[in-house]
Amino acid sequence: MTTVVWDTWLNPNAVEAGLRLTRKLWSDMRGFERFLSHEILIDQDNPAHVVGIGRWRSREDADRARIKYAESPTTRELTALLARARDRWIMEEHTFFQNENEASIAFGT
């Protein structure tokens, strides 16, 4: 599984519209094959700062969706509301266990 993190800074005067478009963008991702899930995190101290976390079967799946969706009306509208270009990080998840018992339960051993 691949996790994609998008760090977004909206113009302060465009927060409401930017959040609406961000929600639409992530909702649209559900239409892509091999998209697993997403979360949207809004900074409690600065609502113009939004982090989107998407989970995909593979990096290739995430990259294909990004390329295909890059010219969508939603992407173009959101881009116009940004205070700066969005950052994108590609991550892979690792699970660490506190002890052997937790690992044993997780792996059924």
Q: How confident is the model at residue 89 (pLDDT cuts 50, 70, 90)?
A: very high
The H or E element that residue 26 is part of is helix 15-29
Q: What is the pLDDT of residue 98?
A: 64
In which residue are the tokens 């979360």 written? 39
CA 97 to mean position of chain CA atoms: 25
Please state the rounded mean pLDDT for residues 66-86.
Answer: 96
Q: What is the pLDDT of residue 92?
A: 85
Task: Report d(CA 34, CA 1) in Å as an integer.
Answer: 10
Tokens of 93: 């998840």
Question: Quick check: pTM over 0.95?
Answer: no
**What domains are defined for the chain?**
2-95 (3.30.70.100)
- Read off the pLDDT of residues 8-35 as tens digits, 9 standing for 90 and up: 999 999 999 999 999 999 999 999 999 9
Tokens of 58: 């593979």
- Read off the pLDDT of residues 35-74 as tens digits, 9 standing for 90 and up: 999 999 999 999 999 999 999 999 999 999 999 999 999 9
Cα first-last separation, the chain: 23
